[in-house]
Structure 1
């Protein structure tokens, strides 16, 4: 309790302790025990007085500033907003130090503590500051009065202040690098709960790490994105149970015959309110939470059911390409067991299945991916490397990959094909053909692209020039 008090006290308080023990092997009468304990207490008192006399200011300076609890912070925010009467405008700031743990690890905790205390003092000097506290670890919170100021001006002042603080820290301490990140939440709604203010500010503090200036404001766009994120996380399981996820088919065209040869299975989220969500809006969130596993198995089973139903009706079957999310490589055996079970359950012939694994997933999980490929090869199922050339591929990759098919990333076909672009694609095709890889190109959008790719021996083409992804019923009408 005294340590906490002394962090902000003008006159620190010290305490002294003395004790001894009376036991069977070292017995004292009670008066002797009290006297010895009293002597030790005075020895401790003298020592601490001497230490304080030697370093009167370091007693406070070398101790990390007290952190404020979330409950206390919420109380402060409520008091400020409750007393503003709408006449004042405030901004809540949350600031941290990038990779602060590296400072502690390399320069020691004393240096780290001194730097944090220095930053706190600098933040207290920021104009129109109502209060500043260390929140936890290397995170600080503050409320500033911005009455009459434009948001752009407020942001500019914070950026300049962070730069100046960083400059002074680098000059005063042995560290070679320091970066501050600040999230800004404008307190325009005086009735917003404190926990929401803290949560929103924390979101933009994290986003600030990706900003060149190190500062990020909470905007309506960010608010909508976070609402959608929360909606995705909390409604996914119920939506999966209600089968709100629909599989879509995007045909792939034979380069030689110019007819539909296969299709890639994609997914859309048909919300109960009528909204249709595209993969980019929910797949990254599900990948982050791990729920993508359940969605993948749902998509596989739906696709397998479609093949099984058509086989029973004697209708035309086409090979289907199915995407494998990176999260499955953490649980290879679980994945292979579930896929095996589904294949056996629906009695799917192996020639109608192609599993797609992205190039980046392969590069970061080579051993696990190769293990999965061998599993599929044992079942005579083809494996495709998706997004080939998206930024990771190299000649060394081509040399060792076990994939049966390579799907050229659509970036190669973006805009107009230049002569240099054609040369690069020709050489890639040449290498892939010599290593017996089946070649698929996605993102095909013009007749010029089609003519070039067909002439170069592309096995299958996929893109808006031919077809966009379509619902099951429409795809069935298309293939008959």
Structure 2
């Protein structure tokens, strides 16, 4: 058969002989025009192996591939695959041609300009009047758009929408593969959890839109700092997971972790500000820390938690000791959730003494946990967990109400009036109705506002100064006193300090302990002078010696508290202190 257009049309006519369609009284010109009008590419080839030479292509073929009919007639169809011949679908088509039967496959083809398009190819044999196969007719359906959509959906199913990084599902798949390879090769691999420190402050300061911008920057940096064979995935809102193979003589060199921390801490410019983020990293390794995906992920997460507990901006490897601490923490958390309803919390009270009169004029309420099996548990062991779980809000509310009730009871018993100081947590401070809640408690109990002092840490107030000022003003409007605790350990500026509606600065115990050294003396004296210049009272906490007391008295510190006078004691013991000589502790 010639390669002319007329011959091709003839082949179509002959192809219909012996078919049901050929029995219909439809002119063959209609068949020809139908093929030429088809939106799908149609090809007719000889049934002669190995090349199956093209004899006809329709206009849709020319439009889809960019090749003119004259450029392809007389050639094999193989040129459409270019150099991409390693396709499973090609084997299926070759088998169908060899067996002279119908077949179909999805193939990657390439246009004349080299661009890829996907086509679903259907071939069928054309038999003559004698039943022998003389030609094959092929139809190509361009499914490039469907493949593009499939690719996008697959990407969305396995990647984080915000950062474009692999998501948890893809990380788990790659981790399964990495474990299998490490088991086969006798090698090791590592999972590093990268948890951004205090990211909630970013969201509070810049909104979630700003937080998303920071996360995208961090994602790009993490991807850039690891090796091409490693996987960086987004695990949770502000946490990333990195899958790494051996990097340093059969282990994971700390230099790799330090590179990650350095990349995260590079300042980020946002809305005219330079913001520095840090991260805490926890690392688990196969096979040392577990044989499976879930175990490795869990232990890397635990190690990251301990990195945060150890001061943040550091990394920790999982060890048996870390695992034991994690189990202990889970037990404490479970018990802590029941402690309020079981009425297991108690308050101890530490007196604050006025250095001018020597009398007890204030008292700080400090929470303790009377655990049913562990005995009296100090706040260091549970306050951090309460903060993380959100339990600090109901616990803090209980402390506030109980301290106010106790102070009112002392007053009703005729004891000297004192002002009770209660610490506010970060979670309480950001509650929208804080001032209203405090006011309601005072009104319900009948305690005068001037008999309550609320203590906040310096760093807590400075996180969002403008909002903090608004909250403090609302509290001051109630008539309560405001103290800034641990002063000197945070990052206050004098410009902001002057604007804060506060009454008291508390000198951190670390500076009181240093009294007697040149630096310690200078810092304590400076804080006292600064406070007095701002018309604020000063309380020194952690006083434990007569030398510290004498120094603070000489430098006109207003009040002191510490073990030199009394440890925190239960309410009845504090009432006894008030009864002794009208509460005079210092002669």
What's the TM-score, normalizing by structure 2?
A: 0.57
Question: In the TM superposition, what whole-angstrom CA distance separates every residue of 1:61-84 from its partner, at most 9, and x where no partner exists?
Answer: xx9998764664686699799x89
Higher relative contact order (CA 8 A, sep 6+): 1
What SS is found at the alignment partner of 1:458?
coil
1:45 maps onto 2:147 in alignment: no
What SS is found at the alignment partner of 2:456?
strand
C-alpha root-mean-square deviation of aligned residues, in Å?
4.7
Question: In the TM superposition, what whole-angstrom CA distance separates every residue of 1:249-282 from its partner, at most 9, and x where no partner exists?
Answer: 1111221233322210111222232343322232
Tell me if the contact between 1:311 and 1:317 (Cα under 8 Å) persists in the aligned partners.
Answer: yes
Partners in 1 of 2:443 and 2:195 — Cα distance? 54
Match of residue 5 from structure 1: none
1:32 maps onto 2:96 in alignment: no
Deviation at 1:48, TM superposition (A): 8.7
Instruction: Tell me: CA distance 1:78–1:422, structure 2 relative to 1, closer, same or farther (3 Å).
Output: closer
1:252 maps onto 2:252 in alignment: no
Match of residue 275 from structure 2: none
Match of residue 159 from structure 1: 254
Partners in 1 of 2:529 and 2:290 — Cα distance? 66
Partners in 2 of 1:320 and 1:291 — Cα distance? 23
Instruction: Tell me: CA distance 1:228–1:112, structure 2 relative to 1, closer, same or farther (3 Å).
Output: closer
Structure 1 residue ranges without an equivalent (≥5): 1-27, 53-62, 124-132, 146-151, 167-178
Match of residue 174 from structure 1: none
What's the TM-score, normalizing by structure 1?
A: 0.68
Deviation at 1:462, TM superposition (A): 0.6
Match of residue 192 from structure 2: 94
Partners in 2 of 1:299 and 1:349 — Cα distance? 17
Tell me if the contact between 1:255 and 1:461 (Cα under 8 Å) persists in the aligned partners.
Answer: yes
Match of residue 16 from structure 1: none
Instruction: Tell me: CA distance 1:272–1:76, structure 2 relative to 1, closer, same or farther (3 Å).
Output: farther
Number of aligned residue pairs: give it. Answer: 407
Partners in 2 of 1:32 and 1:181 — Cα distance? 62
Question: In the TM superposition, what whole-angstrom CA distance separates every residue of 1:145-198 from its partner, at most 9, and x where no partner exists?
Answer: 9xxxxxx9865x5336778999xxxxxxxxxxxx99974435578987642321
Instruction: Find the partner of 2:423 among 301, 323, 327.
Output: 323
Tell me if the contact between 1:103 and 1:112 (Cα under 8 Å) persists in the aligned partners.
Answer: no
Match of residue 408 from structure 2: 308
Structure 2 residue ranges without an equivalent (≥5): 1-32, 42-58, 67-107, 117-154, 156-163, 198-211, 262-277, 580-587
Deviation at 1:298, TM superposition (A): 0.8
1:382 maps onto 2:481 in alignment: yes
Deviation at 1:349, TM superposition (A): 1.8
Mean alpha-carbon deviation: is it higher for 206-215 or for 397-406? 206-215
Instruction: Tell me: CA distance 1:218–1:37, structure 2 relative to 1, closer, same or farther (3 Å).
Output: farther
Match of residue 227 from structure 2: 119
Instruction: Tell me: CA distance 1:422–1:367, structure 2 relative to 1, closer, same or farther (3 Å).
Output: same
Match of residue 316 from structure 2: 216
Deviation at 1:398, TM superposition (A): 4.8
| Structure with more of its chain in strand, by fraction | 2
Equivalences for 1:183-202 in 2 at 5 Å?
183-186=282-285, 194-202=293-301
Partners in 1 of 2:289 and 2:519 — Cα distance? 59
Match of residue 370 from structure 2: 270
